[in-house]
Amino acid sequence: MASLFFPNFGGLFQASILVVNAIAILSEDRFLARIGWGTSQQSEPSFGGGMQDNTSVKAKMINLISSVRTLMRIPLIFLNLLIIVWAIAFG
């Protein structure tokens, strides 16, 4: 039973790292701003300005993408190296 768990867990781990890599390399200028998902579209409310809707799914996805791009750069380098070494060592 344990031999069935670990290959699936390794594949799930690799797939999740690939998804996080895909989010981390999205260019805000070339891709996200064109579809209206850039952080410049979410400005802070100023004096007399209306409140921004931060509870929408789009606003939460924009915040998630910017957080992943900011916080996961260094850990992704080490996780990618770990996956590469694991693939070379164990096939």
Per-residue tens of pLDDT for the chain, all 91 residues: 445 555 677 788 888 899 999 988 887 777 777 777 776 655 555 554 455 556 788 888 888 888 888 898 899 999 999 888 988 998 7
Contact residues for 63 (Cβ-Cβ < 8 A; gap 6+): 42, 54
Q: What is the pLDDT of residue 80?
A: 92
Q: Do 59 and 53 meet the contact criterion of CB atoms below 8 Å apart?
A: yes
- With respect to residue 46, please indicate whether it lies within any of the assigned structural domains: no
- With respect to residue 91, please indicate whether it lies within any of the assigned structural domains: yes
Place of tokens 């768990």: 5
- With respect to residue 60, please indicate whether it lies within any of the assigned structural domains: yes
- With respect to residue 28, please indicate whether it lies within any of the assigned structural domains: yes
**Rounded to a whole number, what is the largest CA-CA distance in the chain?**
62
Residue-range definition of the domain harbouring residue 69 = 19-37+55-91
Among 66, 57, 65, 77, smallest CA distance to 17 is for 77
Q: What is the pLDDT of residue 23?
A: 87
Phi, psi dihedrals of residue 88, rounded to the nearest 5°: -70, -40
Total domain count, the chain? 1
- With respect to residue 88, please indicate whether it lies within any of the assigned structural domains: yes
Amino acid present at 4: L
- With respect to residue 6, please indicate whether it lies within any of the assigned structural domains: no
